[in-house]
Amino acid sequence: MIGFSATTAFGLVRRLATVGLDTPSLYLLISDAPEMHVIQADITAEIQVQLGVGIQVLAAADVGAGRLEDVFIQDPATPVILITLDRWLPKLVAALDRNMVLLETPGAVLLLASRGVAEHMLIAAPNLRNRLSDVLAMRPDEAFGGTMA
């Protein structure tokens, strides 16, 4: 896998705090599959602590290619949406790629994917790739040494 910048949930949410939630942000977050639930919990906690806003956490299987309008409807109470993609769902990714405008509402959309799924996404979804704010390799807080991202 090609090396993308690494960060922690703390670093990611610090970025979101810089940008603010009044404009749309879209991040692809890469994590080792066994650590995904830890990363998800870290992000959820950091969003609530640093930003003080609600977060909608969804599994990709629950999103469904046919109901993107419902998922991405703007809800001021939960301006951050975290979708976990632990397996390759080509129909969902294709739907996201074609219907990018649905993601262009104020707030942040975080796509947390395993390495393999992230690689597939970057290949199969050029519209989505082109609109990503960034691609980041996520590390659990305690395992991340050196400078805080």
User: Which residues here bind other proteins, judged by CB under 8 A?
Assistant: 2-5, 7, 11, 14-15, 17-20, 22-24, 26, 65-66, 68, 94-95, 97-105, 119-120, 122-123, 126-127, 129-135, 147, 149
What is the nearest approach in angstroms of other proteins to the Cβ of residue 87? 18
3-state secondary structure 135-149: EEEECCHHHCCCCCC
What is the nearest approach in angstroms of other proteins to the Cβ of residue 104? 4
Instruction: Rank residues 142 and 147 by Cβ distance to other proteins and give the closer one.
Output: 147
What is the nearest approach in angstroms of other proteins to the Cβ of residue 140? 18
What is the nearest approach in angstroms of other proteins to the Cβ of residue 59? 20
Strand order in the sheet with 24-31: 6-7, 134-138, 24-31, 107-114, 80-85, 55-59
Question: What secondary structure letter does DSSP report for 131?
Answer: H
For residues 85 and 23, give the distance between their C-alpha atoms in angstroms, rounded to a whole number. Answer: 24
Instruction: Rank residues 61 and 123 by Cβ distance to other proteins and give the closer one.
Output: 123
Instruction: Rank residues 48 and 99 by Cβ distance to other proteins and give the closer one.
Output: 99
Helix ranges (DSSP H) in 7-55:
9-19, 36-46
For residues 17 and 12, give the distance between their C-alpha atoms in angstroms, rounded to a whole number. Answer: 9
